[in-house]
Amino acid sequence: MSRVFNFAAGPAMMPEEALERAAAEMLSYKGTGMSVMEMSHRSSAYQEIFDRTVRLLRELMGIPDEYEVLLLQGGATGQFAAVPMNLLKTGADYVDSGNFAHGAFVEAQKYGNARVIASSREESYARVPDVDAGAIDPDADYVYITTNNTIYGTRFTRLPDCGKVPLVADMSSNILSEPYDVRDFGVIFAGAQKNIGPAGLTVVVVRKDLLGHARPDTPKIFDWAKQAQAGSMLNTPATYAIYMAGLCLEWLKKEGGVRVICMRNQVKAKLLYDFLDESRLFRGTAARESRSLMNVTFRTPSPETDAAFVKFAAAQGLVNLKGHRLVGGMRASIYNAMPVEGVTRLVEAMKQFEAEGIAR
Ligand SMILES: *Cc1c(COP(=O)(O)O)cnc(C)c1O
């Protein structure tokens, strides 16, 4: 069996240990004689799996008791609608730092008065916009931010000062990659398929005082208060994805948790950015001060050379380096489960490609 280094933006690489454990437990989970996929979500064996995943999330993210943890479906995109449905009354302030942020803003406009208070759209999202605290309406229902912009390879290194206005964060592509103080947020949500586990699971962390304000026409599965009351089981949850996420979180805990993985993530990102800064062929596309630790975007002078490099790297088992269709070039997504070795191998491949290209 030979595994590749998968640089996909999501669904993305998962820890080998978690996959092996799932394989070992595939036909019969802990003597139950059935796969987790075949279990009733109402069984006590399954409830234990569910509770363990929530417990690990709470522990690894340091989620205080005054926050609810919901394990839902519908992806981050579902939450683009759920956020305004649950919170938007008079107005919401959106930070437009990328395509997903923009999509969330467009969705919110369907439900009420949403406005953009900072945007880098005119700069093709090559950096994150400055958020002037004075631009935030002190009476807004929430301020909305995307902490890491997956497509452009940018991230916020500082959170806006929102005063008493709750900060809502789409953390899909950098949750659990660096320490955050959950108390700085009213709501954090993330699709699981980048840094938590497989697709199909959406994590929502919401401060309890923000529950119970949903508009009356909110579908019940998107109503955070109703989901909280039902233990995220108003209907069948993504049972297997929740189990897999638990295995991945156990791995993260064993590795030392978020602080330790963050140091490793910084090492990985630095290896790539240092090379990009000195390369004569490749260059990074995100503004330096906004560089993401999770998605490193870069390009050569031509789309043909980009394509040639993607092919060259794939032949060495370094796959899915093609950039997002909106921006082209290359993107190396280096989430928690990407080993340092994958990144050193990528830098070696870039060096080799550059040297051979120059020789040609
Ligand atoms: C991937 C991604 C999304 C979309 O997630 P889905 O779960 O596919 O809906 C939204 N926001 C960010 C920041 C992402 O990286």
Mean pLDDT for 236-240 is 98
Determine contact, residues 317/182, Cβ cutoff 8 Å. Answer: no
Q: What's the whole-number mean pLDDT along residues 70-88?
A: 98
Q: Which residue's alpha carbon is at the smallest distance from atom 3 of ligand 1?
A: 76
Q: Is the pLDDT of residue 309 over 70?
A: yes
Instruction: Summarize pLDDT for 128-182 with one digit per residue, the tens.
Output: 999 999 999 999 999 999 999 999 999 999 999 999 999 999 999 999 999 999 9
**Burial grade of 158 (CB within 10 A; 0-12, 13-18, 19 or more):** exposed
How big is the chain by its Cα radius of gyration, in Å? 21
C-alpha of residue 353 to centroid of ligand 1, in Å: 32
- The pLDDT-based confidence of 1 (bands split at 50, 70, 90) is low
Residue pLDDT, tens place only, 101-132 = 999 999 999 999 999 999 999 999 999 999 99
Reported as a pLDDT band with limits 50, 70 and 90, residue 359 is very low
Q: Which atom of ligand 1 is nearest to the CA of 147?
A: 13
Cα of 191 to ligand 1 centre, how many Å? 6
Where does residue 65 fall: left (phi above 0), alpha (psi -120 to 50 degrees), or beta otherwise?
alpha
Q: What pLDDT does 97 receive? A: 98
Q: How confident is the model at residue 70 (pLDDT cuts 50, 70, 90)?
A: very high
Q: What is the mean pLDDT of residues 308-321?
A: 97
Question: What is the four-CA torsion angle of 341, 346, 352, 353, rounded to 10 degrees?
Answer: 170
Residues 6+ apart with CB under 8 A from 69: 54, 57, 58, 63, 203, 204, 205
| Strands, sheet with 330-333, edge to edge from the N-terminal-most edge strand | 283-284, 295-299, 330-333
What is the residue with the minimal CA distance to atom 13 of ligand 1? 172
Ligand 1 site residues (CB inside 6 A) read 10, 75-77, 100, 146, 150, 170, 172-173, 191, 194
Average pLDDT of the chain?
97
Per 3-state DSSP, what percentage of the chain is helix, strand, and coil (rounded to 5)? 40, 15, 40
Convert the pLDDT of each residue in 180-226 to its tens digit. Answer: 999 999 999 999 999 999 999 999 999 999 999 999 999 999 999 99
Distance 146 CA to ligand 1 centre (A): 10
| Nearest protein CA to atom 14 of ligand 1, as residue | 172
Query: How far is residue 288's CA from residue 137's CA, in Å, rounded to a whole number?
Result: 30
Query: Residue 358: pLDDT above 80?
Result: no
Q: Which of 360, 52, 54, 75 is nearest to 198 (CA)?
A: 75
Q: Cα of 31 to ligand 1 centre, how many Å? A: 36
Nearest CA to ligand 1 atom 12: 172
- In 256-333, which ranges are continuous DSSP H helix? 257-278, 303-314
Q: Whose CA is nearest to atom 5 of ligand 1?
A: 76
DSSP string, 45-84: HHHHHHHHHHHHHHHHHT--TTEEEEEESSHHHHHHHHHH
Q: Distance, CA 167 to ligand 1 centroid (Å)?
A: 18
Say whether 40 sits in a helix, a strand or coil: coil
pLDDT of res. 232: 98
How far is Cα 360 from Cα 349, in angstroms, rounded to an integer?
A: 16
AA letter at 21? R
Over residues 24-56, the pLDDT tens digits come to: 999 999 999 999 999 999 999 999 999 999 999
Tell which one of 100, 174, 194, 297 to mutate to probe ligand 1, the residue whose CB is within 8 A of the most ligand atoms. Answer: 100
For atom 4 of ligand 1, the residue with the nearest CA is 76
